[in-house]
Amino acid sequence: KTDNHFTDSLTGNNARGLRYQINTFGFSVVTFSGTVGGGMEPRTSSKSLQLDEDDRRTIEELRAWAACQALLSSVSAAVPLSAVQPNAYFDLICQLLAKASIDSTCTLLRVWDGTRCPHALLKVIVEPNSTEGPSSFSKYKESHIANVLVYDNHVEVSRHLKVRPGAFLRIYNLRAIPGSSRVPGLTSSQPVELDHLAFHLHGGTSYGRGIQLLPENSPDVQELRRFHRSDSFSNVTHIRYVSDSNVT
Query: Could you give the CA distance from residue 20 to residue 209 in angstroms, rounded to a whole number?
Result: 29
pTM above 0.75, yes or no: no
Q: Cβ atoms within 10 A of the Cβ of 221, count?
A: 20
Are the folds of 14-72 and 81-229 the same? yes
**CATH H-level, domain 14-72: superfamily:** Nucleic acid-binding proteins (2.40.50.140)
Query: Could you give the CA distance from residue 21 to residue 111 in angstroms, rounded to a whole number?
Result: 46
Cα 226 to chain center, whole Å? Answer: 20
Q: Which residue has the higher pLDDT, 228 or 164?
A: 164
Hey, which of 9-23, 57-71, 184-198, 205-219 has the most confident mean pLDDT? 205-219
Mean pLDDT, range 151-168, rounded to an integer: 80
DSSP 133-144: S-S---HHHHTT
User: What is the pLDDT, as a whole number, of residue 67?
Assistant: 66
Residue 81 has pLDDT above 90, yes or no: yes
Q: Which residue has the higher pLDDT, 146 or 130?
A: 146
Residue 172 has pLDDT above 70, yes or no: yes
Query: Could you give the CA distance from residue 227 to residue 73 in angstroms, rounded to a whole number?
Result: 16
User: What is the pLDDT, as a whole number, of residue 23?
Assistant: 61
The answer to whether the beta carbons of residues 130 and 180 sit under 8 Å apart is no
| 196-244 pLDDT tens trace | 888 999 888 888 888 988 888 888 888 777 766 653 333 333 345 555 4
Residue 39 has pLDDT above 80, yes or no: no
Residue 135 has pLDDT above 70, yes or no: yes
**CATH H-level, domain 81-229: superfamily:** Nucleic acid-binding proteins (2.40.50.140)
What residue ranges do the domains of the chain occupy? Answer: 14-72, 81-229
